[in-house]
Chains A and B, each alone.
Chain A
């Protein structure tokens, strides 16, 4: 009955415009990536999705906040999925690393 948008408990960063620009300062960037990681996992869990396609990212509200007119550039999305892969939360499906399986549980946890 409710749309996907309303189910998400968006963190404050989602309405913070610079959250959509990769930060040059190392410490701030680490905080930013950590926040993105947990937001991506939260979003995939809540919307019951598993496939992330880099070519289609801007059709989902996750990486495209129309209300503040900010999009996360695809190269930054790549950085985040790479980080998710490190913690076992993402696995690439193709060599070009355009399609990914995102799992909010790591393989170990299963």
Chain B
């Protein structure tokens, strides 16, 4: 027959629980101390690394990519703050500087493309503006993407729209593009054209006429697309941001 636990047993259990808890905090504190030590060592190592390779990071695009990839795989964002200890590497500075230049290029071309620019054109203009030194020429599209993504933090206004494999548009206007609007851009770019039409959208995306028209009207309303009424079958909608002569134009 089982006896109910007596008062003594309950006391004993409570006492043991408390001891476990104490041991737990002790262990946690130990771990914390260890972590602090590890972080300190890490910081020292990183500073050493930085003093050796800082210039390499600024100059060498591939090195930069490998470093940021490594950071991503261990789950740290070297760009999250200018105060993080990664900033000893100057990686932060490098990307913040790029971000400012991205904003400048977008503002300077806004009058003709309505605030939509292909990543390639953005890169061309930015590299031209930075000057002839080798390190200025080696800015990669990946650098620009990393930088442009940071601009999102400033609120909606900047976004990166993937349009086809390896092709991106950078949008620098507050109007948000929905899935449908993005699909319109993707379809236009995939066809290798700077224009699209209602019937093309209906055919390629299997959309209802009304849905296609609504998406096109939105693009016009945002100043991203121009209407061409002189095509025989139906109006065409043209994007200056995808139009070669506009992209190449210096003014």
Chain A residues within 8 Å of B, Cβ to Cβ: 11-13, 15-21, 23-25, 27-28, 31-32, 69-71
Contact = CB atoms under 8 A, between A and B. Distances in A.
Interface stretch (B88-96, B119-127, B174-182, B225-233): B225-233
B112 interface: yes
Interface of B: 111-112, 114, 195, 220-221, 223, 226-231, 236, 238, 240, 243, 245-246, 248-249, 251
A12 to B, nearest CB: 4
Contacts of A28: 114, 220, 223, 226
A96 to B, nearest CB: 26
Given A11-B251, A12-B245, A12-B249, A21 B227 contact: yes
- For chain B, what secondary structure do more than half of its interface residues adopt (helix, strand, loop), or is it mixed? mixed
5 contacts: A12-B112, A12-B249, A13-B246, A16-B226, A19-B226
Contacts, number: 55
Nearest to A16: B243
Given A16-B240, A24-B227, 11 more contacts: A12-B249, A16-B238, A16-B243, A16-B245, A17-B238, A18-B227, A21-B229, A28-B223, A28-B226, A32-B226, A71-B230
B227 A15 contact: no
- For chain A, what secondary structure do more than half of its interface residues adopt (helix, strand, loop), or is it mixed? helix
Nearest to A34: B111
A15 B245 CA distance: 8
B249 A11 contact: yes
Given A11-B251, A25-B221, A16 B246 contact: yes
A31 to B, nearest CB: 6
A50 to B, nearest CB: 26
B249 A23 contact: no
Contact of B248 (A12, A20, A70): A12
Nearest to B247: A12
A33 to B, nearest CB: 13
B230 A70 contact: yes
A21 B229 CA distance: 6
Nearest to A68: B230
B249 A21 contact: no
A13 B245 CA distance: 8
Nearest to B114: A28
A71 B236 CA distance: 15
Contacts of A32: 226
Nearest to B231: A17
B67 to A, nearest CB: 39
A54 to B, nearest CB: 19
B220 A17 contact: no
Contacts of B245: 12, 15-16
B86 to A, nearest CB: 42
A67 to B, nearest CB: 12
B243 A12 contact: yes
B230 A23 contact: no
A17 B236 contact: yes
A17 B230 contact: yes
Which 4 pairs between the two chains have the least Cβ-Cβ distance? A18-B226, A18-B228, A12-B249, A12-B245
Contacts of A16: 226, 238, 240, 243, 245-246
Contacts of B248: 12
Contact of A20 (B111, B195, B220, B228): B228
B226 to A, nearest CB: 4
